[in-house]
Every structure is written in C-alpha cells, then in structure tokens.
Amino acid sequence: MAIEANGKTFETDEEGYLTNLAEWEPAVADAMAAEDDLPLTEEHWEILNFLREYYEEYQIAPAVRVLTKAVGKRLGKEKGNSKYLYALFPYGPGKQACRFAGLPKPTGCI
Amino acid sequence: MAGAEFKTPELSEFIEVPKLVEGTMEHITCFVAKPDHQEALGFPGEKVENWKEVAIDKMGDLLSRYRSFQVFMDACVKCGSCTDKCHYFLGTQDPKNMPVGRQDLLRKVYRRYFTFAGKYFPKLVGAEDLTEEIIDDWYSYFHQCSQCRRCSVFCPYGIDTAEISMAAREILDSIGVGQKYCNEIIGKVHKIGNNLGLPGPAIENTLEGLEEDVYDETEVAVKYPLDVKGADILLVTPSADFFAEPHVDGLIGYGKVFHEAGVSWTLSTTASEAGNFGMFIGSYENMRRVSLRIRQAALELGVKRIVFGECGHAWRIAYSFLNTLAGPFDFLDPDYPVPQHICEYTLNEIEKGTLELDKSENDEMSITFHDSCNVARASRMGDKPGGQFEIPRKVIKAVVNNYHDMEWDTIHERTYCCGGGGGILTDDLMEVRVKGAKPRMSAFKNVMEEKGVTHLAAICAICKSQFTKVFPYYGMDMFQIVSVHQLVSNAIVMNRKTPPEEAPGYGEDDDEE
C-alpha cells in the first residue's frame, strides 16, 4: 500500500501506517486525513505536533493521560480530556492521530 | 481502515440460541506476521515450502508433549453440550464457531494422520487430508476463539477448546503463518520489556506525571517507584496500565493502597508487563522467556513479594504456571502467596482496617462486575475455592454503595468473554470482537435497565480496552467501563500525610509558571 503526498509516494503498511517513519512530512498527515474525510484544522495540528515532539524524546506515543494533561496545560483546561481528543480524532487519539503524525502504532492490550 | 462493514447484532432480552448459518464468518482473516516478527520468536519468517509435512510433524510433536491435547482430540462424543456456549457462535451463527465445530477443524486432520481408522477408512470417520483450504480455515477460525474456556465448563469430558486453539496457532506459527498482532507484541516484550514497547524513560515520565496528578488531587506525595532496589513488593502490571484509560486509574489506585498500607513497593522496567501473549499462541518457549523476565527483575531488585496488577490472562499464568515456568521462588518471603493478586492484597488491607474508605465518593455510579475469563475459569485467588469471584466483589462492595450482579448464568465460572481476549483485541478483527461481545452486552444492558447499573468494573486490561471499543457499537458510552482499583482510588481517604519535601517538584525552580 502507498499514499501520495506532496508529489511523492510513501509506502504504508496494511493498517495505513508509514512503513518508514523517518520519511514523514506534514503533507503525509494531510493526505492520510483526506483519506479519512477528516480535514486537518489548527486544533488537529496542535495535537499532531505534540505527538511528534514526545515521540522524538521517548520513541513511543504518549500515554492518553500524558497527552490530555499536556494538551490541558498548553491549550487550556477545557481541552485537556479524552472527549476533546476523540472529538478531533474519532478513531482515537492513540491510533488515528499517531498514524497521521508518523508515529508507530501503539500495540498491546489497548 | 480496519475491516469491512458489518452489522452490529441487536440485543434481545434473553440470550437466545441462534439459527445456524454456514459460512457467516469465513471471510474473516487477520494480518499475517511479517518475517521479522516471526523470526524474533524462533518461527520461520514465511510459509515454508513443505508446510504440510511440517504441520503434521508439529501436530505429532504436540500430541507427544501434551497428554491433554491427545485426550481432547480423542474424547469428544459429539454430545452437543458445548454448541451454544461460545459467545462467538451466539453472535455470528456460524457453526464453525461452535466449540465442537472449531475443534473438528483440527480433529479431522488428526484423525487422518494419527488414528488407525482415519488412515485406512477416512470417509467413515470424518478424517480429511490437510490442504491449503484447511490451513486457511484454521487461520480464520482459530483467530475467532478467545481461549475463554466457557465451553469447557459445560463439556462432560472437560475438553478445553482454548488448548486446541493454542495448539492450532502453534502449528500455524511452525509453518511460518503467524498472527501479526500477537507475534509483533511478543517480540516487543523480548526486546523492550512490554507489549506496548514503552522504553524505560517513557515509563518514568508517565509515573512522574501520575505522582503530580495524585499530589494535586490529594496533597499527599504518593510515590509510583520504578526499579527501586530493596523494595518489599514488586508490582507486575499490564503495560496498558501505564498507557490507556481506564487502566491508568487502576494503577493510581494500586499506588494509593500501597501508600496507605505503608509498604515499600516498586515497578520494574525489566518486568514492565504482566501479560504474556506466549500463552495465546501456545508457545511454551515464548511463554517461558516472557515469564523469566519477572524472575530476573525480582532477583535484581531483591524484593520479598510479587503482586500482580489487574490483568486476566497474566493471572492465569501467574497463579497456575509461574512456578514451573520461572520458579522456584524460594528467595521470596514464604509468608505470602507467590504471587499475590492486587485484589487479594487490597482486601487483606481492608480487612485489617488499614484503609479508610468513603464509599460515597462512588455514589454517582452503580456498579456491576465482569468476571474475566482467565481469572474466573483458569485460576483462583486467595485460599478458598471461588476466591476469584468473591475477592474482587468484596473489594468493590467495600468501596461502593451501589452494586448489582448480572444474571447468574453470565457471571462466575459461566461468565461471558468480553469478546477481545486471547489475541483477538486487534482492529482487523473488529467484526469478531463486536459480534462476540453480544452475550455480555445483553447481560449488561439487562442489569442497566433492571437495576439502574451505570458502570461495568473489570480486572483485565484486555476487557477494559475491548469494552471501551465495543460499547459504542451497542449504543453505550465508552466511559462506562472502570477499573476495580479506580473505584478503590476514588474511595480511599489519604490519611498518611507526607512531609512537604516529598512533594513532586519540591525545591525545583518554578520559572516556567
């Protein structure tokens, strides 16, 4: 599988995650979101940017609670909860947002 | 995105035995493990050329290693007791999801190659040659079994379909056709230490965050220690407890209980996973390798006791197999069970009177308890028969005012699986998960309507994640699932005050604020 973005072709796995995470660029997120019929707004990008920062430091997606807390701190308390994140990313902040942001899929009992 | 469109079953007042419809689920498949997932576990990377011989040899190997498997292949008399006991059959109407139907997928091949009658008169005894189509059927239908063992409760011979599923998956792995979900995860445990692949610094960061949150809420400096040598208790908990909700609320609760009990405890980066997917794929070698991490951590940290957090199949392995897989644990304090369940630990503290509990903190909820399969049917808790049913309920009833059980034939040893156990908790099997949840959803809906129950409490990471996902399919809210120790966490009164210098961030510059 593959996805077109910015005039380039990016290989993805069967679940739609980038095969080579190092290739990620913002256009990939927009292309993936377009496939999900979910145009990315500034609110979405605030989350995606945090995910990328966290991933660069810890090599893993942040826990849901870490994410909601960071969002609450940066963007205001009313946004620091799972409901806000699910409203932005209906398939789940962990899975859908991670895919857009070029993070590996969280696995396990989640 | 994952899976094709499908229709969510409608819930009825009673759990009815559906009409048979052949082949409703034969389209189901799940992602096959990549070569590197396979090889990390000691399996061939891709389907081997001589798959037929290898599969039959593997079956022979398993028959010689596990007497139970041999008995299960031989003993079925087709009495029919199991037919309507599987949640996947009840939710899908597919006869191959009847336990006997599922077993026969393997049994017909067993008969052909390992019995006299099957070798010489195959048609008379329903024996069949192993073909590519049968391999595909195995891959599909043995990934529609959550190894919950409900059918085995009703089988007069005690045939355990879970063990048959495990054997089938091990045969599939041996020919290079493994499941991506399980095998990728086991690889992460071997390499990083937990199912999620959380490296030590990420766990540390998460735990620091929890310390801040609990301090903000209670003004007590509850610690969530990691890799502390010389602690009394090593807590081994599913990595989902660090990551997901409502799991993490349970972890917060464990910490509060330990704090109020005044014991020293620690988590470990080496043993940062209670779960052991080695069991799901029937691989003794992988199950052992995963278990040995716990032994190693206990030795390195010099702990006296091991306590397991809320994880269903982990508790089966801990209670039933840990000593043979990774024992002897003669270096631990013999005055305590090896290992102990967190519910058992908490109940002891409640009964000793160590914990002050304010039940009214949970008054906004009315609770019912979901017995997780592997705890209910494959282990025990405490020192009395049925402890695995009574202990979690006693803990819940000590911390909530409103509690009601679901119907008697859907709880205790007759509990229905959440629909996501045994390696099924993956998006590519969503149809199986949603349809298999139907009996549990029916029972939960009934207790909601009849008794005003609002929340379902569980002690298994898989159950919690599965319910979060499938509730919305049935018109319920994803937040209706709670951890048992989340309820404890809400009710516990923090009486052991801590000196200010123990507070998170004490003495650090607050320039950022």
Number of domains forming the structure of chain B: 2
The residue of B180, B189, B196 whose CB has the most chain A CBs within 10 angstroms, and thus the best one to mutate to test that interface, is: B196
Q: Name residues 249-278 of chain B within 8 A of A (Cβ).
A: 275
Contact A94 B244 (CB under 8 A): yes
Q: In this structure, what CATH number is given to the domain that contains residue A38? A: 1.10.10.370
Q: Give the one of A16, A63, A69 whose C-beta lies nearest to B242's C-beta.
A: A63
The answer as to whether B409 is a domain residue is yes
In angstroms, what separates the C-alpha of A2 from chain B's closest C-alpha?
Answer: 13
| d(C-alpha A24, C-alpha B326), whole Å | 42
pTM over 0.90? The answer is: yes
Please, are residues A85 and A72 in contact by the beta-carbon 8 Å criterion? no
Instruction: Tell me the H-state helices in A1-110.
Output: 26-35, 42-58, 64-75, 82-88, 98-100
pLDDT of residue B4: 62
Q: Give the one of A58, A59, A109 whose C-beta lies nearest to B465's C-beta.
A: A109
Q: Give the one of A69, A107, A109 whose C-beta lies nearest to B197's C-beta.
A: A107
The answer as to whether B238 is a domain residue is yes
Contacts of residue B240 in chain A, CB cutoff 8 Å? 108-110
Contact A110 B244 (CB under 8 A): yes
pLDDT of residue B2: 44
Number of domains forming the structure of chain A: 1
Do B143 and B220 lie in one domain? The reply is no
Catalytic residues of A: 109
In angstroms, what separates the C-alpha of A95 from chain B's closest C-alpha?
Answer: 10
The answer as to whether A109 is a domain residue is no
Contact A63 B244 (CB under 8 A): yes
Contact A15 B201 (CB under 8 A): no
The answer as to whether A105 is a domain residue is no
The residue of B32, B188, B243 whose CB has the most chain A CBs within 10 angstroms, and thus the best one to mutate to test that interface, is: B243
Contact A109 B242 (CB under 8 A): no
Do B248 and B394 lie in one domain? The reply is yes
Q: Give the one of B188, B199, B213 whose C-beta lies nearest to A107's C-beta.
A: B188
| d(C-alpha B474, C-alpha B11), whole Å | 8
Domain membership of residue A81 as a residue range: 2-100
The answer as to whether A110 is a domain residue is no
Per-residue three-class SS string for B68-129: HHHHHHHHCCCCCCCCCCCHHHHHHCCHHHCHHHHHHHHHHHHHHHHCHHHHHCHHHHCCCC
* ipTM for the predicted complex: 0.93
Ramachandran area for residue B219 (φ above 0: left; ψ -120 to 50: alpha; else beta): left
Candidates A1, A90, A75; CA nearest to A38 is A90
A3-62 residue pLDDT tens: 999 999 999 999 999 999 999 999 999 999 999 999 999 999 999 999 999 999 999 999
Q: Name residues 40-69 of chain A within 8 A of B (Cβ).
A: 57-60, 62-66, 69
pLDDT of residue B509: 65
- Residue B307 is inside which H or E element, if any? strand B305-308
Residue A93's pLDDT band, with cuts at 50, 70 and 90, is confident
Contact A15 B428 (CB under 8 A): yes
Contacts of residue A106 in chain B, CB cutoff 8 Å? 196-197, 243
The answer as to whether A106 is a domain residue is no
pLDDT of residue B486: 98
Do B170 and B222 lie in one domain? The reply is no
Do B107 and B128 lie in one domain? The reply is yes
DSSP state of A12: B
Q: Give the one of A63, A107, A109 whose C-beta lies nearest to B184's C-beta.
A: A107
The answer as to whether B391 is a domain residue is yes
Do B269 and B350 lie in one domain? The reply is yes
Please, are residues B173 and B38 in contact by the beta-carbon 8 Å criterion? yes
Residue of A nearest to B312 (CA): A109
Cα pseudo-dihedral A85, A90, A94, A95, rounded to 10: -160
Contacts of residue A36 in chain B, CB cutoff 8 Å? 1
Do B129 and B210 lie in one domain? The reply is no
The answer as to whether A40 is a domain residue is yes
Do B135 and B212 lie in one domain? The reply is no
Domain membership of residue B92 as a residue range: 35-178
Contact A65 B209 (CB under 8 A): yes
CB atoms within 10 A of CB B249: 20
Do B201 and B128 lie in one domain? The reply is no
Please, are residues B182 and B173 in contact by the beta-carbon 8 Å criterion? no
- pLDDT by residue for chain B (513 residues), tens digit each? 445 689 999 998 888 899 999 999 999 999 999 999 999 999 999 999 999 999 999 999 999 999 999 999 999 999 999 999 999 999 999 999 999 999 999 999 999 999 999 999 999 999 999 999 999 999 999 999 999 999 999 999 999 999 999 999 999 999 999 999 999 999 999 999 999 999 999 999 999 999 999 999 999 999 999 999 999 999 999 999 999 999 999 999 999 999 999 999 999 999 999 999 999 999 999 999 999 999 999 999 999 999 999 999 999 999 999 999 999 999 999 999 999 999 999 999 999 999 999 999 999 999 999 999 999 999 999 999 999 999 999 999 999 999 999 999 999 999 999 999 999 999 999 999 999 999 999 999 999 999 999 999 999 999 999 999 999 999 999 999 999 999 999 999 999 999 999 999 888 765 544
Do B316 and B465 lie in one domain? The reply is yes
In DSSP terms, which residues pair with B179 in a beta bridge? B32
CB atoms within 10 A of CB B473: 17
Do B109 and B239 lie in one domain? The reply is no
The answer as to whether B7 is a domain residue is no
Strand order in the sheet with B455-458: B367-369, B455-458, B481-483
| d(C-alpha B95, C-alpha B89), whole Å | 7
| Residue B83 CA: distances (Å) to CA of B80, B441, B459 | 5, 20, 28
Residue of B nearest to A81 (CA): B245
The answer as to whether B19 is a domain residue is no
Among B158, B178, B198, the domain-final residue is: B178
Do B163 and B87 lie in one domain? The reply is yes
The answer as to whether B17 is a domain residue is no
pLDDT of residue A83: 87
The answer as to whether B21 is a domain residue is no
Q: In this structure, what CATH number is given to the domain that contains residue B45? A: 1.10.1060
Residue of B nearest to A105 (CA): B196
Enter the tokens of residue B356. 């002050």
pLDDT of residue A17: 95
Contact A95 B206 (CB under 8 A): no
In DSSP terms, which residues pair with B457 in a beta bridge? B369, B482
The answer as to whether A16 is a domain residue is yes
Contacts of B100 (CB under 8 A, 6+ apart): B76, B78, B80, B82, B83
Residue of A nearest to B273 (CA): A108
Do B143 and B283 lie in one domain? The reply is no
